[in-house]
Structure 1
Amino acid sequence: MSQGTRLGTTGPEPPPSVQAGPAPRPPEAGRVPPVLRAACFLSNFDRFAITPLLVAVAAGFHVRLDQVVLVASGYFFAYGCAQPVWGMLSDRYGRMRVIRFSLAAAAVCGLASAAAPTLTVLVILRIAAGAFFGAVVPTSLTYVGDTVAPAIRQRALSDLQVALAIGTAAATLVAGGVSELISWRAMLALSAVLAAITVFATRGLSESQSATTLRRPTEQLGSVLRLRWSWVVMGFGLVEGAVLLGCFTFLAPALQDQGVGTIGAGGVTALYGIGTLAFSRLLKLVATRPPWTLLAAGGVMMAAGFLIASLSLSVAGIAAAAILLGGGWSFFHSSLQTWATTLAPAARGTAVALFVSALFVGSSIGSGLGGPLTEHGHYQELFALAAATAVPLTVLAAWLRTRYTPTDS
């Protein structure tokens, strides 16, 4: 029995008709096309710009802050839930078609949001924008999976990690400044204009493959879900989302509970973005090492970060934790992403989208389970639990990665 069938084979190579089509303009030396990096930057820029705008939106509509929370939560919910739909559409109609359409639709929703006359209209439009922007990152990951050889794919995906990290950091800084100096409406309009420009810029980028021969959504889903390796990778994504993303949410509140102001707490946790940038650069230098070693390194940083936070809720302790968690995201998460791109070459978009959905579901579970502990101020216990969970997650992921053989190598 081959290595690829110990937990379920990844299936045969897709037929030639699936891989046929116009030759793409492939990334040189494992690099992602700049326009795709810009699209991923913009997706995170729009997503993370929402939270800093909530107070300004409440003031603009003369309502309580708790009434405008749905502007953010509705966006996040739609962003996560739309992933499988975009994955199946990208498998059926092509990666760049989906990216162009979703960015164009997001631009329209963004401009309409900037002119929303009521809070209800704004909520509806932001939910739609979240669903459309949600297509960009998983489809870009899939494009890289189509066009970059597995041996250097992790290096290419690290380019996307850098773009996402910059988008996250820029959103917090720019959103606050624009809403303070101009208005929150101007910020939404800015994001929409950037989306429209990005659509125009993608015109020179070829499609990565022709439409799949799997005609029905059920065929696309079935080709992924019947593989036990798909469930393994989605399971790791679910747990990673609960530990890393879900518990990371509580770093800033932990500082505030110690008397640190909102701005100070946000500045300290923003070091997560710096950590992601720095470690993504390091990842590019070591990306050709065995995948299990990258998973192990990322898992160690994840566990160490939460362990430090559990031992010290000081500014220095949380700062160190944020930087290490950025490293964990760069190494561990990007390694899982790379793994997801190899699962089902004939339905790669669906496989990657399901992995991303599992990540979002896990983050919701993690933040939900952590709520009762933080409500009583038990932040150290929560971070200790996260560190403890990261250890078996790392060991199991690294071990199983050694037993997996991709079919598109």
Structure 2
Amino acid sequence: MTDTTSARDDVSRNIYIVMAAGLAGSANIRSLDSVLPQISGEMGVSLGQAAYLGAGYALAYGLCQLPFGMLGDRMNRLFLVKVLTCLSVALLIVTAFAPNYPALLGLRILAGAASSAIIPLSISYIGDNVPFERRQMVLAMNMTAITTGMVLGQAFGGIVADVTGWRGIPIFIALLYLPAVVGFWGQKRSGGARCGETQPIAPWHRPWADRENAILARRAGRSVCRGRADHGDDRILRDHADAAF
């Protein structure tokens, strides 16, 4: 009972962490759109060239989702979210000190690649670990966090730029990542489940498993009865029992 409660607490804490990461990741998507004229003037490029910052970010964001998704299927999803979150924070801090336009463009492309899989992997983690009867509610909370991040990135990005210039926006987005970073760091310090470890899904995480087994058992029972009646072959009983359980 204690192990089950501990596993439930770990998953609940991890869900809030990936929600925080998703909020910051969505805020980063359009964060520089409102300050392209400032960037254009400071970097000495046309407004059209400055717009490549958004295009480069979006292109990397879209292209890198597939390979990161495949990687997430082969390793611990939570660990991958942690790595991408820390990488995003590092890139944002460096972006604030970009010396010229080519460096800024390259950093935005890397930032798009780094944050591309945070939201998809958080959704996958919720789907894998939240019971079916609560999953829709948790996914709705996650989508609310993502939408809130989009609003914060655009609305508060302009306000921050008016006070500190456009270079304050990456720092502001990095601060939005701070709760997720602290949460990931706290996992290791608390002695709970480490996000780099691959863990089997506890039975309470998969309430649908009992229903699946029950359906398989009923099907196997019907097939066995039919097979024994038709052929009298005990091998069918073994085969269907193995398939059911």
TM-score by length of 1: 0.43
Question: What secondary structure does 1:184 align onto?
Answer: coil
Contact 2:20 2:145 in 1 (8 A): yes
User: Is 1:169 equivalent to 2:157 in the alignment?
Assistant: no
Paired position in structure 2 for 1:118: 100
Separation in 1, partners of 2:7, 2:74: 17
User: Is 1:27 equivalent to 2:12 in the alignment?
Assistant: yes
What is the number of equivalent residue pairs in this alignment? Answer: 188
Summarize the Cα distance change of 1:39–1:150 in structure 2 as closer, same or farther, 3 Å threshold. same
User: Is 1:45 equivalent to 2:33 in the alignment?
Assistant: no
Percentage of pairs with the same residue: 26
The amino acid across from 2:57 in the alignment is Y
Deviation at 1:200, TM superposition (A): 2.8
Ranges in structure 1 where 5+ consecutive residues have no aligned partner: 1-21, 213-409
Paired position in structure 2 for 1:92: 74
Paired position in structure 1 for 2:117: 135
Separation in 2, partners of 1:154, 1:38: 18
User: Is 1:80 equivalent to 2:62 in the alignment?
Assistant: yes
Ranges in structure 2 where 5+ consecutive residues have no aligned partner: 1-5, 201-245
Separation in 1, partners of 2:156, 2:26: 13
> Of the candidates 49, 57, 69, which is equivalent to residue 39 of structure 2?
57
Separation in 2, partners of 1:117, 1:108: 16
Contact 1:146 1:209 in 2 (8 A): no
- RMSD over aligned Cα atoms: 2.3
Contact 1:27 1:147 in 2 (8 A): no
> Counterparts in 2 of 1:7-406, with a 5 A limit?
23=7, 25-27=10-12, 33-203=15-185, 204=187, 206=193, 207=195, 210=198
The amino acid across from 2:180 in the alignment is T
Structure exhibiting the larger radius of gyration computed from Cα positions? 2
Contact 1:35 1:202 in 2 (8 A): yes
Deviation at 1:93, TM superposition (A): 1.9
Contact 2:20 2:179 in 1 (8 A): no
Separation in 1, partners of 2:67, 2:179: 25
Separation in 1, partners of 2:199, 2:54: 34
Per-residue Cα deviation, 1:43-82 (whole angstroms, up to 9, x for no partner): 1111121211212211221221001111110001111111
